[in-house]
Structure 1
């Protein structure tokens, strides 16, 4: 008797059955996510966070190059060789949106905790543990990986470049933890105060020749701007659309003026070798740019809330938020893994190991993005459970029904 699998019609029928089973499985997953979502959860804020996560990940993948040269690996940036690509940083540098959502959720969560009889100390401890718990896996894996690379003969400079690439995003978590600790103050502080501090620091640094260490005041003051704005939205309600348009237009205009006539760099991310960085530490240009982003986020919030009523769209956003910290912590590892595997090709691959100094590199890097995405999905499958298990252990803590308040869940 002939094998049914050898009959073209039978193969087609089996393929259709498999596809139907996958669709049914997907519909079941969507229904379960919808049923498990609390009625008071602000899905629009989760959607904003998911967009911000995507911006950070794609931004890092587009402006970070690992150049393989004479047995060593070093980090480079196409923004140094191709300054005309600075507008890329305007699209993908979305940290202000993280802090806006963080302040919003933090203020709601702290108010709910207080109303539920939870002390400030207990609330802060729970938030901090949730924020830093997934970091342990990254540190352990990379401590082992760095040791193994050194033992196998890798150069110290190469190992240092890779480890720095992985660990440098952790500054965000430290700053976010500090801002979370001052959430009660942020709820009362007028959002106009932090920008004035940032402006005074920049005048002292760049205009009066003050010490460079003054800039580190802006690490807290600069990101306190969107955090306070989010806390104000949580406390006083979402501002009118005119406020969103004012922030977007005013922030963009002031930023353009600071870049054109104030001597600030056009790139909103750090560029190796640049005399001044808008991000390290934050400058007034980064703050006004962030205000423009916050204005855009406020304008998008209503449409996002409406679109999140669709169960399928919400399921995608919910899954991203469920592993948000894992995505944030492991996306650079995914880039490094693909780059390392590419070395087995025997010759430097364009867009992966070559100097990012022309348009060919940009096109080749775009072609590598799907591979980075697959590697990141693998990392999420391997380590996402660690983040989710921490969230389940603390599910009973009051958080204002929001769940997430940074790059990850809150």
Structure 2
């Protein structure tokens, strides 16, 4: 881990003046807010039968759900993803189209997917395989524990975010072309599709159509990143104000709930599947962070501040993947030590919060030290090679399998492996072993399709 820190510090010192440092800060900060939110919201209690139940603090304190209008920051992360994807794809396409550059003629799409997804899929596959092996071993040994079943169901849930991000990367070329042709019209088409889905679902009762909004809502947010990359986002205060008013009107006058994150037992969720209200929330939040761009950019010009952002960014995906493991490990330790678990939102519960957060942070740091090696860019960070090993079609199949695999695993979890537990993924049922196999196979196909056949000769 010390080597990674030194590498990150060297990268920080070598940062070119034209780099948009604020988007790097938004990426790190949004993941950090998600981690902190999960740690704070989790409320573990013991059921009468001795098993552990993982509840949600926002269900215990409904008024606190208004805080999700500030701290539900996934739209910001996907917005930053759109910005980064636009710049990376254009830069790569220009380099590979130049006959005098290294590696001309390689399939742009395959190389783009490999370069963009390598730091995402490598740590994800490490997480998936380590937890899969541990879950299988524990269940073969018939190990039982108050929190074990809940942990095996919950630790994979954040993988939905990885699946959505994979879809965004996979669809970047056609959506970027739509943006270049229609600009805000491409965003409006996706937003209109999301509104239509909500109308069919909530007003007309059309079944299953709601799942389309996993694409329409999040891809609309991603499209805003394209607009930011071209300096066409418009006036941030207008974007923020319009989004806030739209979200408030939809919640006050429509069937949408107050919380911008999923709540247990709710009839309608703004999050799963996402709704038009969540899209308006994304507009408000993206406009708000853009208002802060100028002062934040001045702050990031300080060497120590920027170095901290780069260092945090080098480990952020690993920390995100393992943060629920750390939180559940803390609660498991409390149960093993017979420390009473107070009622959520009680005075004693709040008094324990600083200690639980400190312990979760320490355990996450330990897990990052062990697994952050998989987040290294490695050889995938270069295109200085020639020849072809794969095609865009192979890459497309690979990324599709990978996103279906991680989405399936986020849904089914690792509980009841020996009983063949399955869950519904869009239109078919999937088990954990099948989901893992799809994810791993998809990752390998993306790696192969975008990898160079041989290195360019020296000199």
Counterpart in 1 of 2:280?
Answer: 288
Superposed, which structure 2 residues align to 1:260-279 within 5 Å? 260-279=252-271
2:22 to 22, 32, 44: 44
Native 8 Å contact 2:147 2:332 kept in 1 = no
The answer on 1:82 being equivalent to 2:82 is no
Please state whether the residue corresponding to 1:275 is helix, strand or coil: coil
Contact 2:72 2:260 in 1 (8 A): yes
Structure 2 residue 380 is the aligned partner of structure 1 residue 394? yes
- Equivalenced residues, count: 362
* 2:227 aligned residue: 232
The alpha carbon displacement at 1:161 in A equals 2.1
* Worse overlay, 138-147 or 110-119: 138-147
- SS of 1:168's equivalent? coil
For 1:2-401, list aligned pairs within 5 A: 32-69=10-47, 70-117=49-96, 119-151=108-140, 153-155=142-144, 158-187=147-176, 188-189=178-179, 190-211=186-207, 213-234=208-229, 236-237=230-231, 239-240=233-234, 243-350=235-342, 355-356=343-344, 358=346, 360-388=348-376, 391-397=377-383
| Structure 1 spans left out of the alignment, 5+ residues | 1-26, 399-410
Residue 310 of structure 1 deviates from its aligned partner by 0.5
Alpha carbons of structure 1 residues 397 and 46: separation in structure 2 relative to 1, 3 Å = farther
1:51 Cα shift? 1.4
Does the 8 Å CA contact 1:44/1:305 hold for their aligned counterparts? yes
Aligned mates of 1:148, 1:328 — CA distance in 2: 24
Offset of residue 73 of structure 1? 2.1
8 Å CA contact 2:270–2:277 kept in 1: the answer is yes
Distance 1:91 1:359, change over 3 A: farther
- 8 A Cα contact 2:70 2:285, kept in partner: no
Contact 1:48-1:301 within 8 A present in 2 as well: no
Decide whether the 8 Å contact of 2:75 with 2:285 is kept in 1: yes
1:125/1:325 CA distance change after superposition, 3 Å: same
Alpha-carbon distance in structure 1 between the residues aligned to 2:65 and 2:275: 16
TM-score (norm 2): 0.74
Question: What is the alpha-carbon distance in structure 1 between the residues aligned to residue 265 and residue 231 of structure 2?
Answer: 43
Q: Which secondary structure state, in structure 1, belongs to the residue aligned with residue 44 of structure 2?
A: strand
Give the aligned partner of residue 408 of structure 2. none
Partner of 2:451: none
TM norm structure 1? 0.82
Measure, in 1, the Cα distance between the counterparts of 2:9 and 2:332: 40
Work out whether residues 191 and 220 of structure 2, in 8 Å CA contact, stay in contact via their aligned partners in 1. yes
Structure 1 residues 186 and 300: alpha-carbon distance in aligned structure 2, compared to 1, 3 A threshold: farther
- Identify the residue that residue 5 of structure 1 maps to in structure 2: none
* Cα RMSD, aligned residues only: 2.3
Q: Secondary structure at the match of 2:261?
A: coil
1:97, 1:197 → 2: CA distance? 21
For residues 220 and 359 of structure 1, the distance between their equivalents in structure 2, rounded to whole angstroms, comes to 42
Name which of structure 1's ranges 165-174 and 121-130 shifts more when overlaid on structure 2.
121-130
- Cα offsets for 1:192-224 (capped at 9, x unmatched): 22111111111111111211x111100010101
- Could you tell me how far 1:141 is from its partner in structure 2? 2.1
| Contact preservation (8 Å) 2:115, 2:381 | no
Contact 1:197 1:221 in 2 (8 A): yes
Q: CA deviation at 1:152?
A: 5.2
Deviation per CA, 1:176-196, whole angstroms, max 9, x where unpaired?
Answer: 111111112222242222111
Q: Secondary structure at the match of 2:341?
A: coil
Native 8 Å contact 1:90 1:267 kept in 2: yes
1:39 positional shift: 4.1
